Chain A
């Protein structure tokens, strides 16, 4: 696992997640991106990301890669933050979620690195 992702996940774990916004055109992105894919400038600045997001899509995985083979079935969620960025993580505290539901982002430290998680809000 790359150090930049460890840093990113630790900020989530600390309750202080971040994202990147292009000073030139406003495009949003996640680290470690340095060039804006829309305007081509290298003017991303780090900003504070909210801790809740909206479910865009989810899937429950029954056949997995070795790292998660003992944990099937589990659900992976892609959620969209108000700031515009999307993030992929595993669902916690529920068996399923519907698109449009609000979830809270968190991070778990595992033997082999960090895992982003989402839990239904409320």
Chain B
């Protein structure tokens, strides 16, 4: 592939009461462009993820709005929406446009403002990623859906709540040293188990927080980078995306995310690598159980073995396969429509050797982003080395 990453940026994640969807995205976009040494007028295509803005802001047509407000009115623009995987779809779309030769410069990103709405309203909006009739109308929340997956997993593989809690302990610790992270305090297994129940067996500290945030990345063709003397040190190496049943009830195994398995296979194929080649990972830990399912789907652990990843330190910053060195969604935060590119920003920093929780000399990094309970999954692969 000939797609290079020229610049990346994320805003601080947390609460931005004095900002808005269009303002916060502008902050990330302009910082990414500055990082790339390019201007808004260089952007040919803009793809931006945004999931619940229709409901929280009463605003659709978000692609054009963001292009307008960052000052790129001449660019082709589109909002991508695949629930919490929206921004990864944006990154994939931008990379595809460049790989196909249709564009030389694409700005990809995402934004979500979740704090301005009440918790009930946000929970309701997020539930729109599930099957409205079969799941939401039954009172099933998102934590509830992952709780069902957790119960099925724990029962099938004899895992327990302590195994889930170990994921939160690891990611909270990583978050304490990430300057953009929302949660800045460590936790321990007892604290996770003692935190209030949300949907059994998941407690509050098994769940990611509600987050305002925006992320952006500037993708360019290798030819453009060379022609304009851009210093690119990371390439967008491959991508995969797949789907599954919208409702959890329509899957033969509740504790298995097949869209992620298919997206990973496709991404590994397109990048010409295997799971063993991956040095650092940002994946979709919206709930502790989600990280366990993800490291199995991505091929880093056999099915049923993922529960020991955090417990035995294999997924730690200095472990065999470092996972969520940013703090992940659990600690960094989860501005739903921005998360996929937020992950890409973190992996780019790892591959450039400038991450606050730097792993030892990584070459290949990967992002994994899930929409809904797994009805969408996008896996993107990055590699150190410009062209």
Which A positions have Cβ atoms within 8 angstroms of B? 1-2, 4-5, 29-30, 37, 56-69, 71, 73-74, 76, 78, 86-90, 99, 113-116
Partner of A61, one of B133, B141, B152, B247: B141
Instruction: Note all chain B residues with C-beta closer than 8 A to A115.
Output: 137-139
User: Interface SS of chain B: helix, strand, loop or mixed?
Assistant: helix
In whole angstroms, what is the CA distance A86 to B138 when docked?
Answer: 14
Interface pick from B22-30, B103-111, B119-127, B337-345: B119-127
A112 to chain B, nearest CB (A): 8
**What is the chain A residue whose CB lies nearest that of B142?**
A65
Query: Are B199's CB and A69's CB within 8 A?
Result: no
Can you give 29 A-B contacts (C-beta < 8 A)? A2-B133, A30-B134, A56-B152, A57-B151, A57-B155, A58-B148, A58-B151, A61-B143, A61-B199, A62-B197, A63-B199, A64-B139, A65-B124, A65-B136, A66-B124, A68-B139, A69-B120, A71-B139, A73-B197, A78-B254, A86-B250, A88-B134, A88-B135, A88-B140, A90-B139, A99-B152, A99-B155, A114-B137, A116-B138
Instruction: Note all chain A residues with C-beta closer than 8 A to B144.
Output: 59, 61, 76
Instruction: Note all chain B residues with C-beta closer than 8 A to A4.
Output: 133
Does B95 count as interface, using CB distance less than 8 angstroms? no
In whole angstroms, what is the CA distance A66 to B117 when docked?
Answer: 13
Instruction: Note all chain B residues with C-beta closer than 8 A to A2.
Output: 132-133
Does B200 count as interface, using CB distance less than 8 angstroms? yes
Per CB-CB distance, the 3 closest pairs between chain A and chain B, nearest first, are A59-B147, A5-B133, A86-B249
Q: Which bucket holds chain B's interface residue count? A: 35 or more
**What is the chain A residue whose CB lies nearest that of B201?**
A59
B246 to chain A, nearest CB (A): 11
Instruction: Note all chain B residues with C-beta closer than 8 A to A57.
Output: 148-149, 151-152, 155, 254
Query: Are A99's CB and B136's CB within 8 A?
Result: no
Does B179 count as interface, using CB distance less than 8 angstroms? no
Query: Are B199's CB and A59's CB within 8 A?
Result: yes
Which B155-189 residues have C-beta < 8 A from chain A?
155
Which B69-118 residues have C-beta < 8 A from chain A?
none
Instruction: Note all chain A residues with C-beta closer than 8 A to B143.
Output: 61, 63
In whole angstroms, what is the CA distance A70 to B138 when docked?
Answer: 14
Query: Are A88's CB and B249's CB within 8 A?
Result: yes
| Count, A-B residue pairs, CB within 8 A | 106
Instruction: Note all chain A residues with C-beta closer than 8 A to B200.
Output: 59-60, 62
Q: A59-B201, A89-B138, A113-B137 are in contact. List 14 more A-B contacts (CB 8 A).
A: A1-B137, A30-B134, A57-B149, A61-B140, A61-B147, A61-B198, A64-B120, A65-B139, A66-B121, A69-B120, A73-B197, A78-B148, A86-B249, A99-B151
B235 to chain A, nearest CB (A): 36
Q: Which of B136, B144, B151, B248 gathers the greatest number of chain A CB atoms within 10 Å?
A: B144
Query: Are B138's CB and A76's CB within 8 A?
Result: yes
In whole angstroms, what is the CA distance A114 to B132 when docked?
Answer: 12
Instruction: Note all chain A residues with C-beta closer than 8 A to B151.
Output: 57-59, 99
A73 to chain B, nearest CB (A): 8
Query: Are B249's CB and A87's CB within 8 A?
Result: yes
Query: Are A56's CB and B123's CB within 8 A?
Result: no
Instruction: Note all chain A residues with C-beta closer than 8 A to B134.
Output: 5, 30, 87-88
In whole angstroms, what is the CA distance A89 to B149 when docked?
Answer: 16
Q: Which of A60, A63, A99 gathers the greatest number of chain B CB atoms within 10 Å?
A: A63
Does B196 count as interface, using CB distance less than 8 angstroms? yes
Q: Which of B127, B132, B198 gathers the greatest number of chain A CB atoms within 10 Å?
A: B198
Query: Are A66's CB and B133's CB within 8 A?
Result: no
Q: Which of A65, A113, A114 gathers the greatest number of chain B CB atoms within 10 Å?
A: A65
Instruction: Note all chain B residues with C-beta closer than 8 A to A63.
Output: 119, 123, 141, 143, 198-199
Instruction: Note all chain B residues with C-beta closer than 8 A to A86.
Output: 249-250
B153 to chain A, nearest CB (A): 10
Partner of A66, one of B120, B199, B247: B120
B122 to chain A, nearest CB (A): 10
A46 to chain B, nearest CB (A): 17
Query: Are A88's CB and B123's CB within 8 A?
Result: no
Instruction: Note all chain A residues with C-beta closer than 8 A to B127.
Output: 65
Partner of A29, one of B140, B147, B197, B250: B250
B336 to chain A, nearest CB (A): 16
Instruction: Note all chain B residues with C-beta closer than 8 A to A78.
Output: 148, 248-249, 254
B141 to chain A, nearest CB (A): 6
Partner of B196, one of A1, A56, A62, A90: A62
Partner of B139, one of A5, A56, A74: A74
Query: Are B249's CB and A60's CB within 8 A?
Result: no
Partner of B133, one of A1, A37, A62, A74: A1
